[in-house]
Amino acid sequence: MSKVLNKRNGIIAVLILSLLFPLAFSDNKYVLYIMTLAFIYIIAIYGMNILAGYTGQLSLAHAGFFAIGAYSVGVLTTKAGLNFWLALLLAVLITMGIGFALGIIALRTKEHFFAIYTLIAGYLIYLLIYKWEGLTGGVRGLIGIPIPNAIGPIKFESPIAMYYLVLLFLLLSIFVTVRIVYSLTGRTYNAIRNSEELAQTLGINTKINKLVSFVISVSFAGLAGGLYASLVRFIGPEIAGTTMVFTFLMYLIVGGIGTLAGPIIGTLLFIWLEQYLQSFQEHKMLIFGPILTLIVIFYPRGIVGAIQSLMGYFRTRKKESSKSYKTNSESTDMKSREV
């Protein structure tokens, strides 16, 4: 009876919804634009989730890497005249390269020192963009970033086309995340998050694994930044700022850090709340500061975590009541895994 409500059907329903969404709003460019922007943030936040959620290393340089991706596309297209697709590919590679170099140094520190260190690194990226006027346009930013070049007959001039393009990259990001999370690599990251010392005593090289996780994480940010540049077509240094990184973090924590659905739920919730409550923009930190604190204390896995424990509760209650005529083989669905 309640089998229709299972996880697979839920995923299919969300997928169909996301595919049909532009048709419902085909004459409302603004709504499409906001949704596309939200998807771009979600891609970046999936990257943050791999490192902070699954590997347990909270990097606050993430917005910096988002900006590196955005500025790489911006500079390469407007100044070097490169094709968008080549620029996007290079942007991801540049972000990964800088991530590798920064990661080697940053990962010598641990826990809150790592968070503080990466916060400073992120700020340095911001400063560099701000001060390097010749390349980045400084405080004025970069304007006139082109939309993605057409691929054969497919053009990206309409908001609908951009929506589908970004959706495609989002699905790719989710796919990569799922593959990682359910692989031995994912379990290795999980082990490191649980306890680095314990992971080491199992023979895991925590240094290399954390570095790889860091580079994967920033590659998502670089990709998202590159897409952002060609969607918004104007970029300024504030995208590397601390407000940006704490916004990402807030979306992730409220949605559910270390869960697969968390980045989507947190981001969409906030983005649409902000749209509907105008005054919300200014006071959001005032309202969400305390709420965030409560979530961190009571629901460390955010909304998704809360739903999971609720469902787990009902499932075990149902099981208790029907235990007498149930075979043993059915009891394996107890394993609570991230949605």
Q: Which of 28, 194, 281, 309 binds another protein (CB under 8 A)?
A: 194
Token code pair at residue 77 = 């297209």
The window from 92-100, 103-111, 113-121, 181-189 that contacts another protein (CB under 8 A) reads 181-189
213 binds another protein (CB under 8 A): no
The answer to the question of residue 190 lying near another protein (CB under 8 A) is yes
State the minimum distance, in angstroms, from the CB of residue 212 to another protein. Answer: 14
- Closest C-alpha to 250, from 210, 214, 209, 285: 285
CA–CA gap between residue 73 and residue 137 (Å, rounded): 14
Q: Please, what is the minimum distance in Å from the beta carbon of residue 316 to another protein?
A: 11
Beta carbons of 68 and 125 less than 8 angstroms apart? yes
Determine, following the binding rule CB under 8 A, whether residue 201 of this chain makes contact with another protein: yes
Instruction: Note whether 316 binds another protein by CB under 8 A.
Output: no
Does 5 bind another protein (CB under 8 A)? Our answer is no
Q: Which stretch binds another protein (CB under 8 A): 91-99, 138-146, 273-281, 331-339?
A: 331-339
Q: Shortest Cβ distance from residue 314 to another protein (Å)?
A: 18
Q: Which stretch binds another protein (CB under 8 A): 47-55, 111-119, 193-201, 236-244?
A: 193-201
Residue 337 DSSP class: -
DSSP 8-state secondary structure symbol assigned to residue 142:
E
CA distance 135 to 300: 41
In one letter, which amino acid is 298?
F
Residue pair 52/45 in contact (Cβ under 8 Å)? The answer is: no
Q: Does 184 sit near another protein (CB under 8 A)? A: yes
Specify the stretch interacting with another protein by CB under 8 A; choose among 92-100, 167-175, 182-190, 215-223. 182-190
Binding mask 225-254 for another protein (x = CB under 8 A): ------------------------------
Please report whether residue 107 would count as binding another protein according to CB under 8 A: no
User: What percent helix, strand, coil does the chain show, rounded to 5?
Assistant: 80, 0, 20
Token output for 339: 């949605």
* 267: contact with another protein by CB under 8 A: no
- Tell which one of 35, 61, 106, 191 touches another protein (CB under 8 A): 191
Q: Which two tokens stand for residue 178?
A: 């799922």
How far apart CA 160 and CA 23 sit, in angstroms, is 9
Q: Nearest distance from residue 145's CB to another protein, in Å?
A: 44
The one among 149, 206, 242, 275 contacting another protein by CB under 8 A: 206
- Name the residue nearer to another protein (CB basis): 110 or 207: 207
Query: Is there binding between residue 205 and another protein (CB under 8 A)?
Result: yes
Q: In angstroms, rounded to a whole number, what is the distance separating the alpha carbons of residues 278 and 251?
A: 18
**Interface with another protein, residue 327, by CB under 8 A:** no
Residue number with CB closer to another protein (62 or 301): 301
- Indicate whether 293 belongs to the interface with another protein (CB under 8 A): no
Please report which helix (H) or strand (E) contains residue 143, including its range.
strand 142-143
Max Cα-Cα span within the chain: 75
For residues 48 and 320, give the distance between their C-alpha atoms in angstroms, rounded to a whole number: 39
List helix spans (H) across the chain.
7-24, 29-48, 62-78, 84-106, 111-131, 133-136, 159-181, 184-194, 196-201, 206-232, 242-255, 262-276, 280-298, 302-322
Total number of residues shown for the chain? 339
How far is CA 20 from its chain centroid?
A: 23
**With binding defined as CB under 8 A, does residue 197 bind another protein?**
yes
Is residue 259 at the binding interface for another protein, with CB under 8 A as the rule? Answer: no
Task: Name which position in 81, 152, 153, 203 contacts another protein (CB under 8 A).
Answer: 203
Taking alpha carbons only, the member of 35, 34, 62 closest to residue 46 is: 62
Interface residues with another protein (CB under 8 A) are 184, 187-188, 190-191, 194-195, 197-198, 200-207, 332, 334-336
